[in-house]
Amino acid sequence: GAVVSQHPSWVICKSGTSVKIECRSLDFQATTMFWYRQFPKQSLMLMATSNEGSKATYEQGVEKDKFLINHASLTLSTLTVTSAHPEDSSFYICSASNSYNEQFFGPGTRLTVL
Amino acid sequence: QKEVEQDPGPLSVPEGAIVSLNCTYSNSAFQYFMWYRQYSRKGPELLMYTYSSGNKEDGRFTAQVDKSSKYISLFIRDSQPSDSATYLCAMKKGGYNQGGKLIFGQGTELSVKP
């Protein structure tokens, strides 16, 4: 149990385009989902926290207009990187929190912006 | 100063060795401490968690927390090549079943040589 999936696992896009990443909790309902970014050899940095049906709470320094988060249901959250640039290339990981506030991580999405 | 400090390594040991991984932290409000294992290009998976000071053992893994020194450790006995991964410490304020964001260390890259 407690499986979190992400789609796609790897995406390459051109500079200036937008990319959507999906995060799904497959066997539980996630009241809260978290989005992290991880650069090579670096730690996971929390970008934002989203609660189902509410606006996401962004960490300091994360542009909410650039990283759009939608948490429309208890099993799905999406992160859209708008007008992506090469510096947005990174490993994006989501986690989903169950009713006991246990966090389970997805497998990550590698974004490469050319 | 980062809230959580972790030596990034890399750390290379022979098969069968005892591995010691450590993190220090600065915020005395942290109560709940976790160790995650992350294989290359994958999401983190929870190995162990401990609450407040003390030891916890699970098979070949032992987690230690010393709140007076703000120092946590993960020991791996009889290390195996399959243990080769990046190990991340994480911590948060509040208990296991309380919400709140995780603060991660940078991660230590471990390589166990056959």
- Token pair belonging to A95: 């986690």
- The predicted structure's pLDDT at residue A1: 63
Most confident of A52-61, A92-101, B43-52, B59-68: B59-68
Say how far apart CA A50 and CA B87 lie, in whole Å. 26
The mean pLDDT of B27-38, rounded to a whole number, is 92
Across chain A, mean pLDDT equals 92
Which residue of chain A has the CA closest to B38?
A107
Chain A residues with CB inside 8 Å of B8's CB? Answer: 41
How far B53 CA sits from the closest chain A CA (Å)?
20
Q: B35 CB contacts (<8 Å, ≥6 apart)?
A: B21, B46, B47, B48, B49, B61, B63, B74, B87, B88, B89, B90
- Tens of pLDDT, residue by residue over A17-29, are 999 999 999 999 9
- Which candidate, B38, B93, B87, B97, places its Cα nearest to that of B63? B87
Q: A10 CB contacts (<8 Å, ≥6 apart)?
A: A109, A110, A112
Confidence grade of residue B49 (pLDDT, cut at 50, 70, 90): confident
- Tens of pLDDT, residue by residue over A52-83, are 888 899 999 999 999 999 988 899 999 999 99
Instruction: Give chain A's contact residues with B (Cβ, < 8 Å).
Output: 4, 6, 32, 34, 41-46, 49, 91, 93, 95, 97, 100-108, 110
How far B84 CA sits from the closest chain A CA (Å)?
15
